Structure 1
Amino acid sequence: MNMTEGNIRYRIDRLAQTENDLQKSIGVENKETNSVLTKIKRSAQKSCSCSKGCVLGFFKGLFPIFTWLLHYQKKWLPGDLVSGLTVGVVHIPQSLAFAILAGLAPVFGLYTSFYPLVIYTLMGTSRHISVGTFAVTSLLTRSVVFRYFPPEIVSQSNGTSLEMNSTMVPDFDNTNAERFSELDLQRAGVAASVTLVMGVFQIIFGIFRLGFITSYLSEPLIQGFTTGAACQVVTSQTPTILGIQIGRFNGPFSLIQSWVEIFKSLPRVHVPTLIITILCFIFLIIGREINLRFRERMKVPLPTEVLLVIITILASHFGQFRENFDVVIVDNIPTGLPAPVLPNMSILGDIIADGFALSIVGFAISVSLAKMYGNKHGYSVDPNQELVAYGVSNIIPSFFLCFPNAAALARCEIQDNTGGKTQVVGIISVIIVLISILVLGPVFEPLPRAVLGSIIIVGLFGILLQFRNLKHLYKTSKVDFSVWLVTWLAVVLLGVDVGLLFGVVFAIMTVIVRTQIPRFEILINVPGTDIYRAEKTIQQRNNNEGILVVKLYSSLYYANKDMFRSKLIEALGFDPGDVLCQRKEAKERRKIELAKLNENSKGFFGIGKNKDRRQDQVTSGDAQGIPSTSVEISEVETEDAWKSNIHSVIVDCGCFGFTDFVGGTLLKQLCSQFNDIGISFYLAACSVDIREQLQRSGFVDVAGMNSVFPTVHDAALFALKNQR
């Protein structure tokens, strides 16, 4: 290696080798190929091996708190205390607001901010996420709750009786029945059932190590989904902040129908509620801007939501907003923890799809935040353990009237910005929420619901501002731009659950289309090097000396094998299969002509005499107007092929991530056809998996061991040597 004028130059002198020669020279032996059953058996034996250390490691993995708590540093405590107090206080207004968003009584939000947070603190691997109530999961829960108990039932519940299907009424504890209305308990039962199904799915995913499923939820998809869900949330809260009532719409285009109804109801806007909403928006937006602009200077963010709740509670209590201005308030918030109760088991079969969607959405959002903060602070997050933690955080709370939970970006940001280092923040937050449940519940009863609606909408500003990413996405990747836009439109027009499914299917289809119609290029050699580049990118003529080098920028499999073959034929200028067919047809025609000649040559008495004449006719061929022999026609067809100056074809397999049986069979067929017309066919830069698949599909049996090369240049040199 020499250094010349600041440029690094390397010179390597070696023999051109086939892949087989290279494997022998470096001493690589063929590895033993185990069956799937053998691999499963070995994995099971490894997983089921039991020892003291194994059991201890299992419990440490299941409860990471016992690992990081042993290494806790005292210098982290001040930041964790401040962060825990701040996040705990923020939990309270958010939990009340998101419970209403889920179609439940506000107090159920406090329960959902308590039980899951306790469990995740014990079992989670992230140090910076705060689980509990979240807008998107609340919105998905709302669709299920209102499916069984629409808002119209509220007006009926004020009467003397409320008719319900007996299968929808589980046996609630008397303590719960005294503290909640029957409708509240029924709705909570439906939400708890969804929570149970959601947790079961997440546990199953965690047990079977399916944390990789989030790979199918790309960042543009998640952004489009959360932005669309935010639009749905804003739509659902708009009547609350305007003090109007509209009908409930379900199914596709329900958001458009809701907005049409909202605009029709504008003349009936409740003015006192609107004034409260405007003042809340101004207060929250100013606080948000202060926190954003002075983030670097402020040790603790301004708790705008908490201050707003305190101010409006005092104003509503002393101003008697409900009595004097007919403002809708939170009203009844009982104190104490609920008695455990079995979720509504009668509807589990009907809500499996909803629970599955919630499990994917909740996990995707939570683990995305966990990984983001893990990368930021330099620690790893185990997606599979996170799945188990989320699953348990949903299953156990479902017996305490909780609804589906997930991590919320706003609380996570506060936890990070206020100096939180570990899940000690979660422990402190749990204490704050518990105090609110046991003692402070009635304090929140005068709080106007418009305040909670304002907190929800302003809290979604960060998500709604993701629209600004579209310009950058459009410039960098049209595909990601389309995934973002299609997912957003699907969620807005079709609903959150159907929209998510539509977005995932569309995102997967973009991958399938890109692999089904990938880029195909002809490569030429850069003079004086072993480098091959696309013909259209090099300002010179093709100097490959009768060698066609092609590259497919994708894996070769059943979906794109026809495209690959057609592109290869287009690059060649002829189809080897057609050449072989023409030869076969010419041979058949020759047989027919010879048979006719034989019949015409027979005389009454001159069979022997005509025999010699027939031989002369066969020899003369063209002079008698008889088609050429099969040998002569084969030579003509071969000469037609040589007009393209191609004597060898090399396929660069460097971009093949995999190939299936169909792809391997295609390569085998191409090799056989090219060899039959006198053209050599080689593969280069094949990975170990590709070589194994080629061997299984029979390619090596047809092409031989010397048809696969480690580099394109090795194959090209070998082809030139054989041609000479």
Structure 2
Amino acid sequence: MASSAIETDGQEILDLEKNRQAEMSQWVLNAPEPPSLWRELMDSARETVLPRGKRFPYLKDKDGLSKTVISVLQAMFPIFSWCRHYNATKLRNDLLAGLTLASLCIPQSIGYATLAKLDPQYGLYTSVIPPLIYAVMGTSRDIAIGPVAVVSLLMSSMVPKLEDPEANPIAYRNLVLTTTFFAGIFQAAFGLFRLGFLVDFLSHAAIVGFVSGAAIVIGLQQMKGLLGIAHFTNKTDVISVMQAIWRSVHQYWNPHNFILGCSFLSFIKLTRFVGKRNRKLFWLPATAPLISVVLSTLLVYLTRADKHGVMIIKHIKKGLNPGSIHELQFNNPHIGEVAKTGLIVAVIAITEATAVGRSFASIKGYHINGNQEMVAFGFMNILGSFTSCYVATGSFSRSAVNFSAGCETAMSNIVMAITVIISLELFTRLLYFTPIAVLSAIILSALPGLVDPHEAYYIWKVDKLDFLVCIGAFFGVLFASVEIGLLAAVIISFVKIIIFSIRPGTEELGRLPGTDIFCDVNQYPMAVKNSKALIIRVKSGLLCFANANFVKEKIMKWATEEEENDSQGKRTVQVVILDMSNLMNIDMSGIASLLELQNNLASGGMELAITNPKWQVIHKLRLANFVTKMGGRVFLTVGEAVDACLGAKMAAV
């Protein structure tokens, strides 16, 4: 009687366990339909306009409508959020930071404009309108907006292929402004349509290599101003630049320019050394470029060194930014090339600015909105192209100065812009005798921070394929051109992605002793493999036309090897369990490969079961009637699949 009762209790436990497994399998099979593509697009668009957690329910009454309007305004113009808590202390800190920033921005902007082959005042124009717009629309507190070296190099290397800046400077300037307009359009589109992932195709490793190569090219090109060379090559590859320097040095160069430039370059480097040793003197390296401009200009004026071969800026146009909307060249025969240049510049500018903004945000512990940043950059460059500005973005060197000066909000950009406006109105005539060699020295002083061998070594140590992307961009920029360097980095990155996509890893799972956890038997040698079940997990987020056949053949190869082991009496595999916990989506090729796998296994006397399929995956498998064809062997966990498939009676689902 006792044994009969025990058998009855055991049967009841087995029945309860079987019913529980069947119920959990139904949880997987009867999940609601996932959101449609249209709904996902609408949700994405709504998140772009309205902040998370503040949706249309506020529209029910008049008070709710005002809250919704405020929420939308705060999302589109973050200044409405932080200005509510603004006070005198923050204003004092931002005022100091903005003035310090302007002392560095003014000489750098003039230098970067000459690097972009534009008149000096265009660098100052670019430091007025874009910073004001970013202060209203941007989400970073520390980023400093204006022209930068890498973008200036892009302009001077790509636009001159369409129009000669020396033969026709007005047409060249108009193409630069048109390029700026297209760059702004692309940047705004990236943010509005949440396409920021496109920028990620230019990886961190690619940016490290690209910026390092560009810094070396920029440095070599500054030898034109440092040596007082009148005519120089328009090419950007290091060989052409070195040849131009070699020819010029053997023919004609002015030692006065070289001595003057090297003297002030040494002064700037010395102030940076002192500033690093004493944090309280952070203002010294920040103001050193402006001090250099003032002293060198005064020196040239008093000695009339311009009559002895020292090259000077000469005339800088006085006054605020003139309108330039009528100068945009949309009917130009090269409009396609201009748009392509705008796209490349947009991606580089966004990538650099995002890296700068996130670096300082992580230090201060606040969050920047990536999509809103792209919208802000887009609008500031669109409006900038209407007001004689070329492409502006976030500068790492000036942002570091802004951060060190104790900025609190984007108000420091407004203070900087107002200071530049005053300079344009009152002080442009004083810059007439500014030597070009000193501007070259200022640019050269900012370049060492762009070359980062330690980061390149770190990339090599962590990921060899990423290092290949890095050196591809570096050598492409250095020995070919800016476009070739970027293209090399993108191609190598795509090849890396394709390799990982079409040949995804697969791993055999085993149970960790004393647990219900299944792990890779190679990573965890203590994991125990089941003698009757081959458990495999695909290490890919997508099973599609590119990798489905490879995955199927890999699984069949493992199953065949196990079948050969069966003939030797080692293992007797009855079921192949496919863990889909990593798989986020599947296409028709993936479904077809699973069906073929099911048929091949069945012909070998084995069954196929799947576990933990994600929402989109199980939805598509049900629509394709695959679940019915495989006998409903769908489970929530690997442990349940093993127990159900290898039990005395398989749970019927």
Compute the displacement of 1:301 (Å). Answer: 4.6
Whole-Å separation in 1 of the counterparts to 2:575 and 2:174: 71
- 2:520–2:527: 8 Å Cα contact kept in structure 1? no
- SS of equivalent to 1:522: strand
Q: Which residue of 2 aligns with 1:314?
A: 298
Whole-Å separation in 2 of the counterparts to 1:492 and 1:564: 41
Q: TM-score, structure 1 length as denominator? A: 0.79
1:373 aligned onto 2:360: yes
Q: 1:414 aligns with which of 401, 409, 412?
A: 401
- 1:665–1:699: 8 Å Cα contact kept in structure 2? no
Compute the displacement of 1:518 (Å). Answer: 2.6
Q: In the alignment, residue 289 of structure 1 is paired with which amino acid?
A: F
Q: Which residue of 1 aligns with 2:555?
A: 568
Compute the displacement of 1:359 (Å). Answer: 1.3
1:58 aligned onto 2:72: yes
The number of aligned residues is 616
Structure 1 residues 199 and 638, CA, compared in 2 at 3 Å: closer, same or farther?
A: closer
Compute the displacement of 1:417 (Å). Answer: 0.5
Structure 1 residues 721 and 456, CA, compared in 2 at 3 Å: closer, same or farther?
A: same
Compute the displacement of 1:103 (Å). Answer: 0.3
Q: 2:263 aligns with which of 279, 283, 288?
A: 279
Compute the displacement of 1:140 (Å). Answer: 1.3
Q: Which residue of 2 aligns with 1:218?
A: 203
Q: Which residue of 2 aligns with 1:462?
A: 449
1:402 aligned onto 2:389: yes
1:493 aligned onto 2:476: no
Q: Which residue of 2 aligns with 1:126?
A: 140
Q: 2:413 aligns with which of 402, 426, 439?
A: 426
1:231 aligned onto 2:205: no
Superposed CA deviations along residues 418-440 of structure 1, whole A, max 9, x for unmatched, are 10011121121112101110010
Whole-Å separation in 1 of the counterparts to 2:578 and 2:276: 55
Map residues 517-528 of structure 1 onto 2, 5 A cutoff. Answer: 517-528=503-514
Q: 1:647 aligns with which of 536, 556, 574?
A: 574
The percent of aligned pairs where both chains have the same amino acid is 27
Q: 2:587 aligns with which of 660, 678, 681?
A: 660
Q: In the alignment, residue 79 of structure 1 is paired with which amino acid?
A: N
Q: Which residue of 1 aligns with 2:603?
A: 676
Q: Which residue of 1 aligns with 2:116?
A: 102
Residues 56-65 or 42-51, more deviating: 42-51
Whole-Å separation in 2 of the counterparts to 1:720 and 1:538: 24
Q: Which residue of 2 aligns with 1:713?
A: 639
Whole-Å separation in 2 of the counterparts to 1:358 and 1:568: 45
Structure 1 residues 547 and 39, CA, compared in 2 at 3 Å: closer, same or farther?
A: closer
Compute the displacement of 1:353 (Å). Answer: 0.2
Q: 2:348 aligns with which of 361, 370, 373?
A: 361
Compute the displacement of 1:55 (Å). Answer: 3.4
Structure 1 residues 45 and 486, CA, compared in 2 at 3 Å: closer, same or farther?
A: closer
Whole-Å separation in 2 of the counterparts to 1:693 and 1:217: 33
Structure 1 residues 294 and 39, CA, compared in 2 at 3 Å: closer, same or farther?
A: closer
Residues 657-666 or 38-47, more deviating: 38-47
Whole-Å separation in 1 of the counterparts to 2:328 and 2:45: 36
Q: 1:22 aligns with which of 21, 24, 48?
A: 24
Map residues 100-499 of structure 1 onto 2, 5 A cutoff. Answer: 100-150=114-164, 153=167, 183-245=168-230, 247-250=232-235, 254-267=237-250, 268-295=252-279, 297-298=280-281, 300-302=283-285, 303-323=287-307, 325-341=308-324, 342-345=326-329, 346-347=331-332, 348-464=335-451, 466-499=452-485
Compute the displacement of 1:30 (Å). Answer: 2.7
Structure 1 residues 152 and 84, CA, compared in 2 at 3 Å: closer, same or farther?
A: closer
- 2:321–2:387: 8 Å Cα contact kept in structure 1? yes
Structure 1 residues 204 and 41, CA, compared in 2 at 3 Å: closer, same or farther?
A: closer
RMSD: 3.0
- 1:550–1:651: 8 Å Cα contact kept in structure 2? yes
- 1:17–1:710: 8 Å Cα contact kept in structure 2? no
Compute the displacement of 1:286 (Å). Answer: 1.3
Whole-Å separation in 2 of the counterparts to 1:192 and 1:718: 68
Residues 532-541 or 255-264, more deviating: 532-541
Q: In the alignment, residue 206 of structure 2 is paired with which amino acid?
A: L
Q: Which residue of 2 aligns with 1:532?
A: 518
- 1:188–1:403: 8 Å Cα contact kept in structure 2? no
Greater Rg, structure 1 or structure 2? Answer: 1
Q: Which residue of 2 aligns with 1:616?
A: none
Superposed CA deviations along residues 267-304 of structure 1, whole A, max 9, x for unmatched, are 33321111122212211211222223323x43635322
Structure 1 residues 32 and 276, CA, compared in 2 at 3 Å: closer, same or farther?
A: same
Superposed CA deviations along residues 64-110 of structure 1, whole A, max 9, x for unmatched, are 22221111133222221110110012111011000000001111111
Superposed CA deviations along residues 398-422 of structure 1, whole A, max 9, x for unmatched, are 1222211111111100000010011
Whole-Å separation in 2 of the counterparts to 1:45 and 1:326: 62
Q: In the alignment, residue 490 of structure 1 is paired with which amino acid?
A: G
Superposed CA deviations along residues 668-714 of structure 1, whole A, max 9, x for unmatched, are 22123212332111122322232223223332021132x12222222
- 1:144–1:190: 8 Å Cα contact kept in structure 2? no
Q: Which residue of 2 aligns with 1:168?
A: none
Q: In the alignment, residue 718 of structure 1 is paired with which amino acid?
A: A
Q: In the alignment, residue 183 of structure 2 is paired with which amino acid?
A: M
Q: TM-score, structure 2 length as denominator? A: 0.87
- 1:17–1:714: 8 Å Cα contact kept in structure 2? no
- 2:313–2:435: 8 Å Cα contact kept in structure 1? yes
- 1:130–1:408: 8 Å Cα contact kept in structure 2? yes
- 2:260–2:438: 8 Å Cα contact kept in structure 1? yes
Structure 1 residues 247 and 16, CA, compared in 2 at 3 Å: closer, same or farther?
A: farther
Whole-Å separation in 2 of the counterparts to 1:383 and 1:679: 50
- SS of equivalent to 1:113: coil
Superposed CA deviations along residues 184-209 of structure 1, whole A, max 9, x for unmatched, are 43332222111111112222223323
Q: Which residue of 1 aligns with 2:7?
A: none
Whole-Å separation in 2 of the counterparts to 1:527 and 1:723: 25
Q: Which residue of 2 aligns with 1:587?
A: none
Compute the displacement of 1:42 (Å). Answer: 7.7
Compute the displacement of 1:641 (Å). Answer: 10
Whole-Å separation in 2 of the counterparts to 1:223 and 1:418: 27
- 1:343–1:398: 8 Å Cα contact kept in structure 2? no
Whole-Å separation in 2 of the counterparts to 1:207 and 1:458: 37
Q: In the alignment, residue 21 of structure 1 is paired with which amino acid?
A: E
- 2:187–2:377: 8 Å Cα contact kept in structure 1? yes
Structure 1 residues 568 and 394, CA, compared in 2 at 3 Å: closer, same or farther?
A: same
Whole-Å separation in 1 of the counterparts to 2:529 and 2:44: 52
Residues 279-288 or 91-100, more deviating: 279-288
Structure 2's unaligned 5+ residue stretches are 1-13, 51-55, 60-64
Whole-Å separation in 2 of the counterparts to 1:575 and 1:665: 24
- 2:122–2:389: 8 Å Cα contact kept in structure 1? yes
Whole-Å separation in 2 of the counterparts to 1:691 and 1:18: 20
Compute the displacement of 1:488 (Å). Answer: 1.6
- SS of equivalent to 1:549: strand
Whole-Å separation in 2 of the counterparts to 1:570 and 1:693: 26
